[in-house]
């Protein structure tokens, strides 16, 4: 489970200014929702089949929860659910369809309701 853009490092992350510039560089990616990070689109020498597409900050669901999508090359798009906590960003799950993530949350909520009654 990935998504380096979500909860990415801070100024004390050990990166050099040159590293930060390489990570900040963008291309015009043909995938409409992709943020087009150069390093993930051949900047590391990889071919298009290995390019990593991701939507950056994702889709805000609540102030502390986001839905992010990503894909490698032409593989299926995967969706991840992220929760921001005091300890950092946590990936709560990944699925090929965001409705699968919603169903998991409903199942968990039902179990919590049953355990607390």
Are 3 and 90 in contact by the 8 Å Cβ rule? The answer is: no
CB atoms near residue 45 (< 10 Å): 6
Question: Is 60 exceeded by the pLDDT of residue 7?
Answer: no
Long-range residue pairs from 23-32, CB within 8 A, at least 24 positions apart, any chain: 29/53, 31/71
Mind listing the pLDDT tens digit for each residue in 44-99?
A: 888 999 999 999 889 999 999 999 999 999 999 999 999 999 999 999 999 999 99
- Looking at residue 24, the DSSP 8-state letter turns out to be H
pTM for the model:
0.73
CA 82 to chain centre: 8
């Amino acid at each position: 489970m990935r998504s380096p853009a979500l909860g990415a490092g801070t100024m004390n992350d050990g990166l050099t200014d040159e590293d930060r510039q390489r990570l900040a560089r963008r291309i015009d990616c043909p995938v409409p929702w992709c943020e087009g990070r150069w390093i993930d689109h051949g900047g590391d020498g990889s071919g298009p089949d290995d390019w990593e597409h991701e939507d950056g900050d994702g889709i805000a669901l609540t102030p502390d929860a986001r839905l992010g999508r990503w894909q490698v090359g032409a593989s299926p798009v995967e969706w991840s659910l992220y929760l921001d906590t005091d300890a950092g960003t946590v990936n709560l799950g990944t699925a090929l369809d965001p409705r699968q993530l919603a169903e998991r949350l409903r199942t968990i909520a039902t179990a919590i309701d049953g355990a607390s009654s």
